[in-house]
Structure 1
């Protein structure tokens, strides 16, 4: 089943909606990524570099797919990725746990807390990708 069939990541649908508590603010920079990683095919890297950002905190849906790919690309590009294990998920708990174990090789693994959120100064939001057309 593709994401376009279940409307999980189709922009403009309920499945891709951002909850009110996480809604972007006027000063936030939003990146919609067209592929799996938040870096591939976007201007995220030059935006982070222009702002002098060296640490990337990664959260999101599909720990074992989009989150993992974004963490790996961040590392490849020279960033220090931090993976917030309790701010991401997968379609099955075993996929999530496996991705977290792999992620330990590439990123610091932390749990989100109020103390951590108070220390973060980030205004960059990566939105969910549009699904790719399925080859016939």
Structure 2
């Protein structure tokens, strides 16, 4: 019933990622990083200087560093050692006594040791939400995205992603920053996450998205939204030439489906403009969308000016 020895296997790369069903983008102002159960006890099952352990730790280090630089909160989970049978509950039947008592096996691996300002949660079940105040922390900090990395992909990481989704938190499952019992288990976890509850990304894609959103986080006057820029964004999604799309043409008839509309909603929200799917679906033309974005931008700038004056 103990953790099995884990054979060497290669981490997935971008080409291995399944197609995501949703187009959420990680936003530094909305996200929290969860480093899940990166304890000596669980990492001992891997070969010390081999894949996937080497990439797992290196990628989480990169993500953690980037999140710190973007003021994204970092939360660690760790299971306690020396649990009683009552504390273990049904986990006892599947996995035995778990982490032994004492400081060594339960500590976070040295390469990822938490800082004083990181949040540390004692974890009791597969999901990081169960018997913890993780959801309360996210709500208190007004964060609704969870970047998930750690071990094991098909158990705690996946169950945490599922529960986040069910609680209205957008999960981001970092395919090369989680590890599992085998490559097969790993692939199954990534596929299920993408199909049912999360966006799956590689570390590099995550870091690019975070940096792009951070660079675009401030409104730059009316230069952000011009009629031509809106036309170009629409054309990019439709894979057509901007000049081929009329300003007052019904975009729904051109193939602007709900998935593409939500892509634009997310893109524009990320630069501070609050639009909804209904706003765009009710007025599906470039000119109407430009007018809507212009009016929303003016509100944002007006509110910003008032805050400065106060």
TM-score tier, shorter chain, comes to 0.7 to 0.9
Structure 1 residues 65-117: Cα deviation after superposition (integer angstroms, max 9, x where no partner): 10110000000000000000111111111011011100102111011139718
Quick one: distance in 2 between partners of 1:67 and 1:119?
A: 21
Assess, with a 3 A threshold, how the Cα gap between structure 1 residues 118 and 24 changes in structure 2: closer, same or farther.
Answer: farther
Shift, 1:21, TM fit: 2.8
Aligned residue number for residue 151 of structure 2: 61
Q: Which has the higher contact order (CA 8 A, sep 6+)?
A: 1
2:117 equivalent to 1:27:
yes
Greater helix share, structure number: 2
Which of the pair is proportionally richer in strand?
1
- Which moved further from structure 2: 16-25 or 111-120? 111-120
Runs of at least 5 residues in structure 1 that lack an aligned partner in the other structure: 121-136
**Against the structure 1 CA distance between its residues 117 and 45, is the aligned structure 2 distance closer, same or farther, given a 3 Å change threshold?**
farther
Counterpart for residue 132 of structure 2:
42
Matched with 1:109 is 200
Normalising by structure 1, what TM-score? 0.76
Match of 1:83 in 2: 173
- Aligned partners of 1:52 and 1:108: how far apart in 2? 20
Q: Residue in 2 aligned with 1:10?
A: 99
What number of residue pairs does the alignment pair up? Answer: 116
Q: CA deviation at 1:48?
A: 0.8
Q: What displacement does 1:47 show?
A: 0.7
Counterpart among 141, 161, 173 of residue 51 in structure 1: 141
Taking structure 2 as the reference length, what is the TM-score of the superposition? Answer: 0.35
CA distance in 1, matches of 2:157, 2:147: 10
Once the two structures are TM-superposed, the CA of residue 13 in structure 1 deviates from its matched residue by 3.4
Partner SS for 2:108:
coil
Provide the C-alpha distance between the structure 2 equivalents of 1:32 and 1:112, rounded to a whole number of angstroms: 26
- State the 1:17 CA deviation: 3.2
